[in-house]
Amino acid sequence: MLLFSSIIIGIMFTVAIYLILENRLLPVLFGFGLLTHAANLAILTMSKNPVGKVAPIIKDGVSNYIDPLPQALILTAIVIGFGVTAFLVVLIYRIYTASGSTKISTIFNEETHI
Amino acid sequence: MIHILQSLINNIVVLPFFVALVTALVGIMWRLPGSGRRLFFSVSASIQVILACFIIFLTHKVKILFLPVGAWKAPFGISITIDIFGSLLIGITTLLSLFAILYLFATLKKSKENPLLLPLIQFMIAGIILSFSTGDFFNLFVSFEIFLIASYGLLTLKSDESSIKNAFPYLGINVIGGTLFVLGASFVYGMYGTLNFADISAQTSHLAQDPKLILIASYLVLVFGIKAGFFPLFYWLPRSYSCLPAPVAALFAGLLTKVGIYAIIRTLTTIFPLGLVSIYSAIGYLSIFTMVVAIIISLSRSNIREILCYNLISHIGFLMAAIAIFSPISLTGGIFYMMHHMVVIASLFLISGLVIQITKTDVLKDSGNVWKHHGFVGVLFLVQALSLAGLPPFSGFWGKFLILREAIRFDQVSVAAAIILASILTLLSMIRIWFHVFLKKNDGLKMGSVPKGFKRSTTVVSILVLFSLIMGIFSNPFISASNKAMSLLLNKSRYENKVLSYEQTLKMETDSHSSHSENDAHSKDVTKKDTNHHMESNHDTHKEVKHSSKHFKLESISKKEVSNGSSVH
């Protein structure tokens, strides 16, 4: 189970980095989204193997609860990632309207000295 | 009575953060910029400075302030912890935010003020204060994101083509940095089952040789290094900082990179065991490159802001060198240098703002004449430039002197050479600005009438410069405060004890206070004598720390058992 999810996390990171290194803005956006999700999945994996464990609701005679903390952390991380992604979407749209191109090589072509 | 006083003191710990947050929220509600709104913001910033001073006073009395939020016991709940190091940085942060806001009021017309500008600054300050006062990794991540998101907003506030283009790489590197940080936090949780600094410290005290621990610690140092602007990772910094308005750029330059350095120092002292020699030497190599490469780039730049940005990065290298040497005195010097550098680089950015107001240009080639017409601005610049280069009467000298002395003492010849070379080149790059902007005669440049509010903004900057001068000339209290902060950082058991066995704090405080107060030197002469003593007993400190943390580990385990037991029933 842990091996399986770590392989998935690895694949997600690979794809995310590939997308971030693309030349167009939209794949870069998806790359950042995928990157945060990969990190979230890694946090979830830290609650160890869930097979045979129960939700952390305290009852008599039950002791094999799953660790609830990573889920609390993941929630915060998802919200923050969501906010940043929303900002990124607007920023990319704004760059597109300002420069009329989605190719990063043409947008950042001239050496800008401010 | 003591109980009430104690709880009051404990709740003061979150107040600077809370005041900044509430100010930002009220600022968002109070939409239209005007005199009343400005008064509100400046009063709030002054209140934050007073609160921070009070917290510095308290930490000098009680050493570590700790608040378990919602009264959840330490390893489980959110813990807000401020020690002397954190309180000093909170003090400088609030001071800089006050001066930046006052400068902003003097230079910016009310009609041109963006309604989001002041709230975003306060959000950023709130995030920075929280990151200086937090006691666990995840909260540190959240506070990083608070000030980063505010800084994205500040960068793109002007919303013209160049600022949004420069915001994009900044956003990209920080999103990647934030993701790697979250990943690091999850690794820490997976390995030690906790995110609380004190709890990690208690669990890892005997693991200094563990390769897994060295791996995770170096990973975290790398993550914070992205934020601090380490050698290969600083290309994004000058691009984004140099398109900001002067007061905001001053805040960015003074505060944001220092948070990264703060997190590294916290990671290597409070959280993970002392004596991770391989990480120190890696930081040492990176510091050499950071110092030298950045300052050489600064010599090739042609406008004031970018030169200052590369100087900023180069001086991050000095702080890294202080961490790399990792002796008590070098850390003292590093902490002092950090405070000095926050003030000096921020005031240099403000002075560059003044110069740009006069000459209407940022480019060295087109500038000139300033010394003839505005000699006072020249004096301000000269004081801060010499302080940045580290000339004796100014504040930059003391920190640099301590770090350099330790580098030579520990035979870190390359680090010492890099410090000297970078200092000389800093002086050279400052002389370039001095010559081109202040001394040079430029007949083509029209010196327009003095802009409105110029006198007020100059006054604000000169008060900040005066503070920096005081830091240099009367450096005793600042150095002894850094020394106290350092000895508290290296005394890990104290921190663990305070956080993990919270109820016993009052009793423990009186017990351990007397034994450690001897380490805190109260004057510089004593510092020097004492540091020799420290030097020889460097290894002894490690032993002592190990010994005492073992002692506390037993306590913390029994504590955990008790709390586990109570949660099951």
Whether B553 maps to a domain, the answer reads no
For residue B190, the chain A residue with the least C-alpha distance is: A46
Residue reference for tokens 């929630």: A75
Which residues 530-569 of B have a C-beta within 8 angstroms of A?
567-568
How confident is the model over A20-76, as pLDDT tens digits?
999 998 999 999 999 999 999 999 888 887 787 888 888 888 888 888 888 888 998
Q: Rounded to 10 degrees, what is the CA torsion of B558, B562, B563, B565? A: 130
Judged by a CB distance cut-off of 8 A, whether residue A11 touches chain B is no
C-alpha B219/C-alpha B149 separation (Å) is 23
- C-alpha distances (whole Å) from B69 to each of A47, B13, B239, B304, B383 are 24, 11, 39, 45, 44
- Out of A42, A91, A114, closest to residue B171 by CB: A91
- Out of A35, A63, A98, closest to residue B164 by CB: A98
C-alpha B417/C-alpha B399 separation (Å) is 16
Question: Does B145 sit within 8 Å of A84, measured CB to CB?
Answer: yes
Judged by a CB distance cut-off of 8 A, whether residue B219 touches chain A is no
Whether B561 maps to a domain, the answer reads no
For residue B363, the chain A residue with the least C-alpha distance is: A114
List beta partners, residue B68.
Answer: B79
pLDDT by position in tens, chain B (length 569):
677 776 676 688 889 999 999 999 999 998 788 889 999 999 999 999 999 999 999 898 888 888 888 777 777 778 889 999 999 999 999 999 999 999 999 988 888 888 999 999 999 999 999 999 998 888 999 999 999 999 999 999 888 888 888 888 899 999 999 999 999 999 999 888 888 999 999 888 888 888 999 999 999 999 999 888 888 888 888 888 878 889 999 999 999 999 999 999 999 998 999 888 899 999 999 999 999 999 999 999 888 999 999 999 999 999 999 999 999 999 999 999 999 999 999 999 999 999 988 888 888 888 888 888 888 999 999 999 999 998 888 888 999 999 999 999 998 899 999 999 999 999 999 999 999 998 988 877 776 677 778 889 999 999 999 999 999 999 899 999 999 999 999 988 888 888 887 654 444 444 444 444 444 434 444 344 444 444 444 444 444 444 443 333 333 333 343 344 333 33
Cβ neighbours of A42 in B, within 8 Å: 182-183, 186-187
Question: Does A45 sit within 8 Å of B152, measured CB to CB?
Answer: no
Question: Does A70 sit within 8 Å of B189, measured CB to CB?
Answer: yes
Q: Comparing C-alpha atoms, which of B152, B156, B153, B154 is closest to residue B171?
A: B152
Whether B514 maps to a domain, the answer reads no
pLDDT score at A52? 79
**CA pseudo-torsion sign B94, B96, B101, B105:** positive
Question: Does A108 sit within 8 Å of B142, measured CB to CB?
Answer: no
Q: How many domains does chain B have?
A: 1
Cβ neighbours of B171 in A, within 8 Å: 84, 87-88, 91
Structural domain containing residue B422:
2-489
Cβ neighbours of B159 in A, within 8 Å: 94
Interface probe for B, chosen from A80, A102, A105 (most Cβ of B below 10 Å), is A80
Q: State the first-to-last Cα distance of chain A, in angstroms, to the nearest integer.
A: 52
Whether B255 maps to a domain, the answer reads yes
Whether B172 maps to a domain, the answer reads yes
pLDDT score at B503? 56
Separation in Å, CA of A53 to nearest CA in chain B: 16
Q: What is the ipTM of this complex?
A: 0.92
Judged by a CB distance cut-off of 8 A, whether residue A6 touches chain B is no
Interface probe for A, chosen from B163, B164, B310 (most Cβ of A below 10 Å), is B164
CB contacts < 8 A, A to B, total 97
List beta partners, residue B67.
Answer: B80
Judged by a CB distance cut-off of 8 A, whether residue B157 touches chain A is no
Whether B535 maps to a domain, the answer reads no
Residue reference for tokens 């009438």: B449
C-alpha A81/C-alpha A85 separation (Å) is 6
For residue A60, the chain B residue with the least C-alpha distance is: B569
Separation in Å, CA of B129 to nearest CA in chain A: 19
Whether B512 maps to a domain, the answer reads no
pLDDT score at B344? 95
* Three-class DSSP category at B394: coil
From the number of C-beta atoms within 10 Å of its C-beta (0-12, 13-18, 19+), residue B493 rates as: buried
pLDDT score at A111? 56
Query: Is pLDDT above 90 for A109?
Result: no
- Out of B164, B189, B302, closest to residue A91 by CB: B164
pLDDT score at B448? 66
- pLDDT category at A83 given cuts 50, 70, 90 is very high
Q: What is the pTM of this model?
A: 0.86
Cβ neighbours of A114 in B, within 8 Å: 162, 166, 242-243, 303, 305, 362
pLDDT score at A108? 79
pLDDT score at B132? 94
Q: Which domains does chain A have, with CATH numbers?
A: 2-51+68-113 (1.10.287.3510)
Higher pLDDT residue, A108 or B7? A108
pLDDT score at B33? 83
pLDDT score at A98? 87
∠ CA B327-B330-B335, rounded to 5°: 125
List, in order, residues 6 or more apart from B209 with CB less than 8 Å away.
Answer: none
Judged by a CB distance cut-off of 8 A, whether residue A35 touches chain B is yes
Separation in Å, CA of A52 to nearest CA in chain B: 19
